[in-house]
Amino acid sequence: MDFLSDFKKSILTIVAVLFFFAGVAFAADEYVPGEILVKYRKKENQRSKMAISLVRGAKVLYRYKNIPVEKWQVDDVEAAVKELSGNSDIEYAEPNYLRYPRYTPSDNYFSMQWYLNNNGGNLNEDYGVEGLAGADMDLVRAWDIELGNSAVRVAVVDDGVQLNHPDLSENIVAGWDFDGNDSSPYPGSSYDSHGTMVAGVLGAVGDNGIGVSGVANDVSIVPLRFDGSISDEVNAFDWAIANGVDIVNFSYGGVSTSNAERDAVQRLEDAGILLVCAAGNYDINNDLIHDYPSGYSNSNIITVAASSIDDEIISWTQFGQISVDLVAPGEYIYTTDLDSGYILVDGTSFSAPAVAGVAALVKSSYPDADYSEIKGRILAGAELNSTVKGYAAIAGRVNAYNALTVLEAPVIVIKSISYSGEDNGIPDAGETVNITLELENIWAEAESVTAEISTDDQYVSIDRAVVSYPNIAEVSSSESIQPFVISLSDQITSNRKILFAVDIAAQDYSITRYFILETGGKTESGNVYNGIIQRNDMDDVHHYYIAVPDEATDLRITTDSQSDIDLFVKKEGFPVFIFYGDYSPGEDTLFSIGNSGDESILVRNPDEAIYHIAVANASSAYNIEYELEVSYSVAGEGQDEGGSGGGGGTVGILMLLFLNGLLVTRKIFIFCSHP
Residues catalogued as catalytic: 158, 194, 349
Which of 137, 97, 94, 144 shows the shortest CA–CA distance to 118? 137
Ramachandran area for residue 271 (φ above 0: left; ψ -120 to 50: alpha; else beta)? alpha
Q: How far apart are CA 30 and CA 15, in angstroms?
A: 12
544 burial (CB, 10 Å; 0-12 / 13-18 / 19+) is buried
The SS3 of residue 288 is coil
Give the phi and the psi of residue 78 in degrees, each rounded to 5.
-60, -45
The long-range contacts involving 14-22, CB below 8 angstroms and separated by at least 24 positions, are 19/78, 21/78, 21/81, 21/82, 21/85, 22/82, 22/85, 22/86
Residue type, 461: S
Q: What angle do CA 516, 517, 519 make, to 5 degrees?
A: 140
Task: For strands 59-63 and 69-73, give the pairing.
Answer: antiparallel
CB neighbours of residue 8 within 10 Å: 12
CB 433 within 8 A of CB 486: yes
Which of 5, 338, 65 shows the shortest CA–CA distance to 187? 338
CB 327 within 8 A of CB 392: yes
Q: Write out the DSSP string of 107-138.
A: -TTGGG-TTTS--S-TBHHHH-B---TT-S--
Q: How far apart are CA 226 and CA 180, in angstroms?
A: 9
Q: How far apart are CA 525 and CA 546, in angstroms?
A: 8
CB 255 within 8 A of CB 653: yes
